[in-house]
Structure 1
Amino acid sequence: MTRGLARVAEFVRPTRIGVRLLLFNLLVLFLPVAGVLYLSSYEQQLLDTQERGMVQQARVVAAALGSVPLTGAQPMLDRLGQRSEARIRVYDANGALAADTARVHAAVQPVEAYPPADVDGGRKRLIYRFGAWIVRARRTLARAILRQPSPPSSSSVKAPTPSEVRAALEGRYGAQTAFTPGQRSLTMNSAVPIRQGSGVVGAVVVSQSTFRILRALYRVRLRIFEVVLASVALAALLTVFASATVVKPVARLRAEAAALATRRTKLPGGFVSVDRKDELGDLARALDDLARRLDAHIRLLEAFAADVSHEFKNPLASIRTAAEMAAHAQDPRDREKFLDLLVRDVDRLEGLVTGVHELARLDTQLAHETPALVDVGALAGQLVADLRVIGDARVHLDVRAEGSCAVAASRDALTQVFENVIVNARSFSPPGEPIDVIVERAGDDCRVVVMDRGPGIPEAHLSRVFDRFFTYRPQEPGRRDHAGLGLAIARTIVEGYGGTIAASNREGGGTSVEVKLPFALPLARSRL
């Protein structure tokens, strides 16, 4: 039970993104809320329309009574009262009531009395009371801010002559609005003077309740308020759902990423959200791929450190042995032999240090440099021309690409790649045998192939020729000046630019090294 409550609490616990989602969802409710507020303006428009109709009705009655004595007003009002929803009263010049449509049926209440029965029971509903309280609070606040007095109750008007009647007897338009006693509607009174000749002989007052207007508006308000409350509940549910399906998984990803950052051993099995089919699943898979790449990079560094340590031990041990033997040698020729061995081992160690430094700086160099467009055919042609300058005419270039074969890379880095591959081919190729360099377009790649006629590579070693410190020279078993880093450096650079490098044996003997780099045709056309 406690665990279940804890899970529920964790499920609904607010988060910053969850709060923002809730605010956004609530902002969507602005339109129905604005509709509720607009109903007040619409109500005022309806009341103004009703008042104009009452004024027109009062003017018609006043015009009809302007040519007859006021003593004949009651029969006229009796006929009008049967066809009009409004109450019509006629006052004489002294402010006394001369005629009233309410006298048609003495038992009938005046029209402005708000019907006490609420046939649909809507006003008894809690949601109605809550909405009505909000409307009343808004009106009260508006009156307080604007300092508008509340309409008086019709029962509070105790003066013998109403104010609107006095205004009409003075020749002006008179109006008065009051609450219906004990009810929530208003009674609107409009008074116009009755003129006979140039004088005012009385006043016509038309009174009508706003009950029908308010009843229709209250029903609309109730429906809109129900929609608003349902929307608020739906927004809250959607926020909780979004928080559970978006925020919580993101929090789990953050926790897993933080746990990954603090681990110093093998990476865990992966992120838990990689099976999702949405954007969070894409993010989890990207993080998982990043973590695996990071793990592979860490393992690469560990293997690199182990290889460096192993490769350094051999020349260091040889240097120590040569130094000790030279120190104890009595024969000058033996001492000179050991010193020569010492110098060769120091040179070998220096070459290892240079190669290791080159490998170590490649990642940083590739990450921070700004690639430029390099025409591979022109670069290969320059390398071949440089070799011929130093007297090596064995390297032949064949550029088969139509136009420029440009890639986005560093010119110096690509120069190092092709130099290492060509130098490796020269070291294996017998004297007088040609070395062919082919540059061509292969799909979306720029392909460079360097072929020699050397002894070839055993099948078991084809996958290792690009490993660090690997060298296979059976025809030169005594040479130790090759560190085995040239092709490893070439592979690091090529893969850093998104390319591939591979070695294979040629038919008839020899080795073929193939380099593929992504072609940069759009950039090449715009800049070259």
Structure 2
Amino acid sequence: MASATASQKTETPAASSSVATCEERDLAVRWTGRMSLTARILAVNVFALAMLAGSFVYLDSYRWRLSDDRVAQFETDSQIIAVAITAVPGPMRAALSVRLGQVGDVRLRAYGPDGTKLHDSWAVGPPTYELRDPRTEPWQKHVARFLDRGFDRIVGAPNFAPFVEPEVDRAGAWDEVSRVIAGSKVESRIREAPDRTPVISTALPIPGRPGEVLLVTGSARDITRGVRAERSMLALVVAGVVLCSVLLSLFLARTIARPLRRLARAAVRVRLGRARDVVMPRLPGRRDEIGMLARALADMSQALSRRIDAVEAFAADVTHELKNPLASLRSAVDSLERVKDPVLQDRLIHVIRDDVVRLDRLITDVADISRLDGELGRARFERIDLGPLIEGLLEARETRGANGDVRVAFARPYVETAVVMGDGSRLARMIANLVDNAVSFSPPGGLVKVGAVRVGPEEGEGDVRITVDDEGPGVPPAQREAIFRRFYSSRADDDSFGRHSGLGLAIARAVAEGHDGRIEVSERGQGRPGARFVVTLPAAPRLAGEPA
């Protein structure tokens, strides 16, 4: 038997445990581990929306830009007004201030060096803006101001001083006027009316009139309206996006979490032992990972159900097969005590011996086929040259006389041509079972031919084909699949009693499939009687320098 460097078919338990631990660590979720999938989807989408909602902060900078621009415009207009008032004769100044106040929606006041008020455009003309009382406004305005205060707290906007008309209107009542009198060129302030409307006031000296100061005040209601309009538009956009995001999150949760929940419930029922009652959803309409998982779990559930059925059927078959030799053995033992005839005693002892051999063979085969799948899954596969393996097997059979008067011929292949990757002991058991079966069905003086040859393309891996031909009655087409079932036998009831358990061909098929191969039975062909068993196994990769 030729062998090269061993390659293990499956991982060791320690390696499998290490790989599983790494996979669990890669797939683990840490701080979200206790959250449901639906909650995570909603949390991720809401977090993204929260970032979008942060654009409300932009409105604060937008308002400050509007305020700065408005103050700069107010100072420019105030300087123009001061120059215009200085340029006209004294009797015309009152009328001009009223006209300029109406055009700019502002209130003009002039203060003398001693702080007394010299002129007021509202004293000689109508008011140019209105300071509204919040108590007289509709509820919508209260809601708007409540939202204004809330957003101001969120963005940390500074609070403006309240705008209150002084009871005694003198220069000292206005901080900006006092600073101009003290020598400042232009001073501006922003105050807040009771209805949260910004009121801008600008004080500057009147040219050509030393000590006199002009105070221009005006309502910047358009700033509040603009900010509220932008905020409303942004709020509508955010609300729409939030609604769409929540709906999409619920849709994702429905299409992801709901089927996963159904699969989990079905898997739990399978674990609790109700596999036959469980219909695992296959989700045939889904071509995504959830559909793949559903179909994989459904196939696994069906395979598990078939395995359970097979185990139960196998247990029933084993029980049935054990009852026959046990009943015969019990009857022979009971009769042995009563029989005094030595000839009959010898016959009973022979029956007991045959029953013991049959039980031993049956128990050995049952134990072998029971652990075969597990052992092949853990086996360390090696390069096996089937030529020497089969030759040694047949020589051992010939030495112990296992073939009886049946001849066995082997067409040995060239060395290192019929090479497979496998477990040598299991492959030997498979071939021995096939030869046993062929010998048992061959007539006295018959010939069993065994062959092994590499087939397939000259380049590439190809297959190795093992054939076992006998000269027995053959296998009818209707039984060619059934003969590989456990405990199936087409022999006469009295044929080779005690020698055959009905598991030999089942073991041979299990070994072949455990090596990724297959086993079939057919006629010998060319009008010759008998059956041909063909085992096809994947050929081992060729080594460097090995002849094709």
TM-score of Structure 1 vs Structure 2, range by shorter chain? 0.7 to 0.9
Question: What does residue 492 of structure 1 align with?
Answer: 510
Residues 282 and 298, structure 2, Cα contact 8 Å, conserved in 1: no
Question: What does residue 305 of structure 1 align with?
Answer: 315
Q: Find the aligned partners of 2:419 and 2:149 in 1 and give their Cα distance.
A: 79
Task: Report which stretch shifted further, 66-75 or 310-319.
Answer: 66-75
Q: 1:299 to 1:151 in 2, by over 3 A?
A: same
Correspondent of 1:134 among 113, 125, 147? 147
Residues 65 and 73, structure 1, Cα contact 8 Å, conserved in 2: no
SS in 2 for 1:514: strand
Question: What does residue 365 of structure 2 align with?
Answer: 355
SS in 2 for 1:109: coil
Q: Find the aligned partners of 1:411 and 1:249 in 2 and give their Cα distance.
A: 46
Q: Deviations over 1:94-126 (max 9, x none)?
A: 4445567x569822514xx46899xxxxx9686
Question: What does residue 227 of structure 1 align with?
Answer: 237
Q: Deviations over 1:268-296 (max 9, x none)?
A: 37346746546555554444333322221
Residues 325 and 358, structure 2, Cα contact 8 Å, conserved in 1: yes
Residues 373 and 406, structure 1, Cα contact 8 Å, conserved in 2: no
Structure 2 length normalisation: TM-score?
0.71
Q: How does 1:4-15 map to 2 (within 5 A)?
A: none
Q: Deviations over 1:170-189 (max 9, x none)?
A: 23453322123x53320122
Q: Find the aligned partners of 1:399 and 1:130 in 2 and give their Cα distance.
A: 97
Residues 448 and 470, structure 2, Cα contact 8 Å, conserved in 1: yes
Q: Shift in Å at residue 205 of structure 1?
A: 4.4
Calculate percent identity across the aligned residue pairs: 25
Q: 1:404 to 1:492 in 2, by over 3 A?
A: closer
Question: What does residue 42 of structure 1 align with?
Answer: 62
Q: How does 1:81-480 map to 2 (within 5 A)?
A: 91-97=111-117, 102=121, 106-110=125-129, 113=130, 132-140=145-153, 149-155=159-165, 160-161=170-171, 162-172=174-184, 174-180=187-193, 182-192=194-204, 201-238=211-248, 247-262=257-272, 267-268=276-277, 270-271=279-280, 274=283, 276-277=285-286, 282-366=292-376, 369=378, 374-375=382-383, 378-387=384-393, 390=396, 394-398=409-413, 413-414=426-427, 416-425=429-438, 433-441=448-456, 446=463, 448-455=465-472, 456-472=474-490, 477-480=495-498
Q: 1:249 to 1:432 in 2, by over 3 A?
A: closer
Question: What does residue 511 of structure 1 align with?
Answer: 531
Structure having greater relative contact order (Cα 8 Å, sep ≥ 6): 2
Q: Find the aligned partners of 2:176 and 2:309 in 1 and give their Cα distance.
A: 97
Residues 176 and 188, structure 1, Cα contact 8 Å, conserved in 2: yes
Residues 399 and 440, structure 1, Cα contact 8 Å, conserved in 2: no
Q: Find the aligned partners of 1:51 and 1:431 in 2 and give their Cα distance.
A: 119
Write the letter of the residue equivalent to 1:34: G
Question: What does residue 23 of structure 1 align with?
Answer: 43
Task: Report which stretch shifted further, 68-77 or 24-33.
Answer: 68-77
Q: How many residues align?
A: 487
Q: Shift in Å at residue 245 of structure 1?
A: 5.3
Residues 467 and 533, structure 2, Cα contact 8 Å, conserved in 1: yes
Write the letter of the residue equivalent to 2:43: L
Q: Find the aligned partners of 1:432 and 1:478 in 2 and give their Cα distance.
A: 19
Q: Find the aligned partners of 2:182 and 2:65 in 1 and give their Cα distance.
A: 28
The gaps in structure 1 that reach 5 residues or longer are 1-14, 118-122
Q: 1:287 to 1:390 in 2, by over 3 A?
A: closer
Write the letter of the residue equivalent to 1:175: S
CA-based RMSD of the aligned residues comes to: 4.7
SS in 2 for 1:394: strand
Structure 1 length normalisation: TM-score?
0.73
Q: Shift in Å at residue 499 of structure 1?
A: 4.6
Q: Shift in Å at residue 352 of structure 1?
A: 0.9
Q: Shift in Å at residue 307 of structure 1?
A: 1.0
Q: Find the aligned partners of 1:16 and 1:327 in 2 and give their Cα distance.
A: 74
Q: Find the aligned partners of 1:404 and 1:194 in 2 and give their Cα distance.
A: 115
Q: Shift in Å at residue 365 of structure 1?
A: 3.3
Task: Report which stretch shifted further, 429-438 or 296-305.
Answer: 429-438
Q: Shift in Å at residue 421 of structure 1?
A: 3.6
Q: Shift in Å at residue 316 of structure 1?
A: 1.4
Residues 439 and 470, structure 2, Cα contact 8 Å, conserved in 1: no
Q: Shift in Å at residue 404 of structure 1?
A: 9.4
Q: Shift in Å at residue 166 of structure 1?
A: 1.1
Q: Find the aligned partners of 1:30 and 1:291 in 2 and give their Cα distance.
A: 44
Write the letter of the residue equivalent to 2:504: G
